[in-house]
Structure formats: C-alpha cells, structure tokens
Amino acid sequence: MDRSSVRIKERVAEEFYNKFDASYRRKDLREASKNLWECIQHLVLALGFCENKDLADKDFMDFLNEFESEITGADISTIKAIHINFLRGTMDAKIFEIYKRKFEVLRNKLKKIIGDYLSSGGEMDSEVDIGGTSSDENPENILF
C-alpha cells in the first residue's frame, strides 16, 4: 500500500467535503451534490489504494460490493442518488437533507475502513490492478 497516495486522496476528499459545505450553505444543491460525489470518489480511490487497486469510475460499485459487511445496498443507493442529482439537479431540499445525512454515515464508514487499513499496516489480499483512472467521459454511464 502506498500510504502517501492514500493520504493524498483523503485530503482531496476533505477539500471536496469543505466545498460541499460552502455550496450547501448557499443552497446550491446541484453543486453540493457534485462536491459530495467528488468526495466519495476520492475516498473510494483511497480505499482502492489500500488494496493496491487503481480503480476506474466504472469499477467503484463492484469494488464497494467487496465490503458488503460494511457498505450496504442503502449506501450504494445513496451514492447513486447523489451522482444523479449532480448530473440532473432534480432533488428538492427536503430529499437532499435525507441523502446528506445518509452521506455522512457513508463517509464515516469509508474513513473508518481506510483508517483501519492504515493502522493495521494494510496487509493486502491481492495485488490486482483493476486499471484506469477517474474520468468524466460520459458521466451518465459511470455507475450503471
């Protein structure tokens, strides 16, 4: 595991979380969703680095499913809803508030899993490289 890459992704995720907070306060929910999506992307990439995997966007959901004891179907649905709102901006404030709370739970789960890897020395089960990097090519098809 490349600890410095993991830490960098964690810091970038925090920067996007801070941007989320600013856009949320301005009530720009589409921009807030974009920043939540970026935050999640970087946390998932950090988790991938913990397992020596360089994930492409299309691999995120399959990768998260490997953590089924920690990351639930509801968490995956939260990610999808945030991503869709980032793309389409159709979520009203009341619904957004529900997903914001769900996001906080998911974010804490991801941070804990990453922290556990870092504190345990991160023994890896495999050295598989899924390949690719994050891209914005056709973002409507990234998760589906």
Average pLDDT score over the chain: 85
Q: Residue 34: give the domain boundaries.
A: 3-117
Report pLDDT for 144: 36
- pLDDT tops 70 at residue 141: no
Classify residue 125: in a domain, yes or no: no
Q: Fill in the amino acid letter for 43.
A: L
Q: Establish if 122 belongs to a structural domain.
A: no
Instruction: Say yes or no to pLDDT of 139 above 80.
Output: no
3-state helix, strand, coil in the chain (%, to 5): 70, 0, 30
Q: Does 136 map to a domain?
A: no
pLDDT in tens, 41-52: 999 999 999 999
Q: Residue 111 is part of a domain; what is its CATH number? A: 1.20.120
**Exposure letters 36-68 (e unless 16+ CB within 10 A, then b):** bbbbbbbbbbbbbbbbbbbbbbebbbebbeeee
The answer to whether residue 127 is domain-embedded is no
Residue 60 lies in a domain: yes
Residue 140 lies inside a defined structural domain of this protein: no
Report pLDDT for 142. 43
Residue 124 inside a domain? The answer is no
Prediction pTM value? 0.81
Helices (H) and strands (E) in the chain, counts: 5, 0
State the total domains in the chain.
Answer: 1
Q: What is the pLDDT of residue 1?
A: 78
pLDDT tens-digit series, residues 80-106: 999 999 999 999 999 999 999 999 999
CA distances from 27 to 32, 36, 82, 140 (A): 8, 14, 15, 24
Nearest C-alpha neighbor of 15 from the set 39, 41, 33, 47: 39
